Amino acid sequence: MLFAYMFVDVMSPLQSLIQKQRGWSPDAFGYYAGAEYILNVFGFLILAGIILDKMGVRFTGTLSASLMVAGALIKLYAISELFQGTALELWLNSWWTEMPGSAKLAALGFMIFGCGCEMAGITVSKALAKWFEGKEMALAMGLEMAIARIGVFFIFTISPRLADSVVPASVVVPVAFCSALLCIGLLAYIVFTFMDAKLDREMGANKVAEAESDEEFKLSDVGSIFKSKLFWIIAMLCVLYYSAIFPFQRYAANMLQCNLGISETQASDIFRWFPVGAAALTPLLGYYLDRKGKGASMLILGAILMIVCHLTFAFVVPATKSELITYSAIVVLGISFSLVPAALWPSVPKIMDKRFLGSAYSLIFWVQNIGLAFVPILIGKVITWSNPGVTDPMQYDYTLPMCCFASLGVLALIFGIILKAMNTVHHYGLEDPNIKEDFEDVRIDGEA
Ligand SMILES: C[C@H](NC(=O)[C@@H](N)CCCCN)C(=O)O
């Protein structure tokens, strides 16, 4: 997941460079960024859940890592000099001219990569649940997310530097670097499959069969989950919150460049502290949640902090051009991005029956992916619409796009408040510690 998250954001600090080098407009960049989730939205993620439950973590993890490598190599080829001037590029350039041929092929690669990445996300959750059952599962999930966030910090640090390491600067170098890391990730997962097989042997065949049948995906479960009010509240909170985080991450470096009048590298150097804050706090909050609870309150606080930060980027940073205020908003956003994931994902088992859990995670990811696919496209359009005639990628006004992100935060906050109110009435245990076993257990099979 470390290398996957690095690959996801390798181009994020390079928006203005790819615009200069390959002619990708903000709109084209938005389409490319949204492509990561498109196939998942059109059902791949549901299929991925079925494959995972039928074939297990070893097969699905290897498949998902292979898909990531294949997608990465297509994207690498699309942005490389090798692709320039080929018949394929000329043909891709000949239709939907707003989107250059290189952006179209890169988007296709990113779509395939995105299938692998989300499939890996579900597989890793299931593998962690298997390996840490009855142990520190929330802490393990927190650490996994923290490692992935460190990858984002690392890539925001090195991506512009790798691009500048050749003359003229090129997006190919950082993308090639991350593609090589993904190949190492695939090898690492293959090693893990041997360890997992060993664990199965140690657990004994019966226990494994029992664990797997518990989580088997049934199509009828999808109907039960979709009928649950609670599922929709959690899924809406998730899609709204994450749509104001991951898509923002794509545009953040350029937003800082435009607001502060700084270079790509300087902007990335500021923004990279966002995932670091999240990486440092997520495991600690997971540990706190395991012992003290307060999950629903953490979701509300996380949404409030996000709204404050996005409004600061919209109005305060452009007016003051203060690096101190910018750094403070980045760190606070990092705190928000620890509170919500640390509370959200371990809350799902509290409100879903264990039998529904695998499908519930895959369906929440699916709803979330709809937002992650379309919000970057929407933001690209808002940037273009609110900056008529602006062609210099250093001159965009980000007030309106940042207000859009803040509005998503307001909606997420409303769903957080509804969730907490429902928890107060129905006692789902969302404010209770994870390791306390005796809270009143109300799940979707007993929701009515
Ligand atoms: C665990 C959670 N991951 C997700 O929500 C993924 N569905 C989206 C990952 C986006 C990067 N491709 C998280 O990272 O908090």
Q: Using the predicted structure, report yes or no on whether residue 422 has a pLDDT greater than 70.
A: yes
* Distance between Cα 77 and ligand 1 center (Å): 26
CATH fold match for the domains 1-201 and 227-430: yes
* Distance between Cα 403 and ligand 1 center (Å): 23
Q: Quick one: what percent of the chain has pLDDT higher than 90? A: 51
Closest CA to ligand 1's atom 7: 365
Q: Using the predicted structure, report yes or no on whether residue 447 has a pLDDT greater than 60.
A: no
By the 10 Å C-beta count (0-12 exposed, 13-18 middle, 19+ buried), 210 is classed as exposed
Best residue among 40, 242, 348, 367 to mutate for probing ligand 1's pocket (most ligand atoms within 8 Å of CB) is 242
Q: For residue 205, what pLDDT is reported?
A: 54
What average pLDDT score do residues 78-83 get? 93
pLDDT greater at residue 441 or residue 238: 238
By the 10 Å C-beta count (0-12 exposed, 13-18 middle, 19+ buried), 240 is classed as buried
- The atom of ligand 1 lying closest to the CA of 246 is 10
* Distance between Cα 110 and ligand 1 center (Å): 15
Three-state DSSP string of the chain: CHHHHHHHCCCHHHHHHHHHHHCCCHHHHHHHHHHHHHHHHHHHHHHHHHHHHHHHHHHHHHHHHHHHHHHHHHHHHHHCHHHCCCHHHHHHHCCCCCCCHHHHHHHHHHHHHHHHHHHHHHHHHHHHHHHCCCCCHHHHHHHHHHHHHHHHHHHHHHHHHHHHCCCCCCCHHHHHHHHHHHHHHHHHHHHHHHHHHHHHHHHCHHHHHHHHHHCCCCHHHHHHHHHCHHHHHHHHHHHHHHHCCHHHHHHHHHHHHHHHCCCHHHHHHHHCHHHHHHHHHHHHHHHHHHHHCCHHHHHHHHHHHHHHHHHHHHHHHHHHCCHHHHHHHHHHHHHHHHHHHHHHHHHHHHHCCHHHHHHHHHHHHHHHHHHHHHHHHHHHHHHHHHCCCCCCCCCCCCHHHHHHHHHHHHHHHHHHHHHHHHHHHHCCCCCCCCCCCCCCCCCHHHCC
* Distance between Cα 382 and ligand 1 center (Å): 24
* Distance between Cα 426 and ligand 1 center (Å): 29
Domain ranges (residues) in the chain: 1-201, 227-430
* CA–CA distance, 178 with 183 (Å, rounded to integer): 9
CA 398 centroid distance within chain:
22
Q: For residue 433, what pLDDT is reported?
A: 82
* Distance between Cα 338 and ligand 1 center (Å): 12
Closest CA to ligand 1's atom 5: 365
Q: Using the predicted structure, report yes or no on whether residue 175 has a pLDDT greater than 70.
A: yes
Q: Give the model's confidence band at 446: pLDDT under 50 very low, under 70 low, under 90 confident, else very high.
A: very low
- The atom of ligand 1 lying closest to the CA of 149 is 14
Closest CA to ligand 1's atom 8: 118
* Distance between Cα 95 and ligand 1 center (Å): 33
- The atom of ligand 1 lying closest to the CA of 37 is 12
Q: Quick one: what percent of the chain has pLDDT higher than 70? A: 92
- The atom of ligand 1 lying closest to the CA of 337 is 15
pLDDT in tens, 153-165: 889 889 989 999 9
* Distance between Cα 1 and ligand 1 center (Å): 10
* Lowest model confidence (mean pLDDT) among 45-54, 155-164, 187-196, 388-397: 45-54
pLDDT in tens, 183-196: 999 999 999 999 99
* Distance between Cα 36 and ligand 1 center (Å): 12
| CATH class label, 1-201 | mainly alpha
Q: Give the model's confidence band at 377: pLDDT under 50 very low, under 70 low, under 90 confident, else very high.
A: confident
pLDDT in tens, 130-174: 787 766 777 888 889 899 999 988 898 899 899 999 888 889 999
Q: Give the model's confidence band at 207: pLDDT under 50 very low, under 70 low, under 90 confident, else very high.
A: low
Tell me what ipTM this predicted complex has: 0.96
Closest CA to ligand 1's atom 14: 145
Q: Give the model's confidence band at 33: pLDDT under 50 very low, under 70 low, under 90 confident, else very high.
A: confident
Closest CA to ligand 1's atom 9: 118
Reported pTM: 0.82
Q: For residue 226, what pLDDT is reported?
A: 85
Give ligand 1 pocket residues (Cβ under 6 A): 8, 117-118, 121, 145, 148, 242, 246, 341, 365, 368
Which CATH number is associated with domain 227-430? 1.20.1250.20
Q: Give the model's confidence band at 262: pLDDT under 50 very low, under 70 low, under 90 confident, else very high.
A: very high
Q: Mean pLDDT in the chain?
A: 87
* Lowest model confidence (mean pLDDT) among 89-103, 283-297, 411-425: 283-297
Q: Using the predicted structure, report yes or no on whether residue 352 has a pLDDT greater than 60.
A: yes
pLDDT in tens, 273-331: 888 888 888 889 888 888 888 889 999 999 999 999 999 999 999 999 999 999 999 99
What average pLDDT score do residues 250-264 get? 90
Residues comprising the chain, all counted: 448
Q: What tokens appear for 377 in the block?
A: 């496209």
Q: Give the model's confidence band at 212: pLDDT under 50 very low, under 70 low, under 90 confident, else very high.
A: low
What average pLDDT score do residues 62-88 get? 95
How many other C-beta atoms lie within 10 A of the C-beta of residue 197?
A: 11
Q: For residue 356, what pLDDT is reported?
A: 66
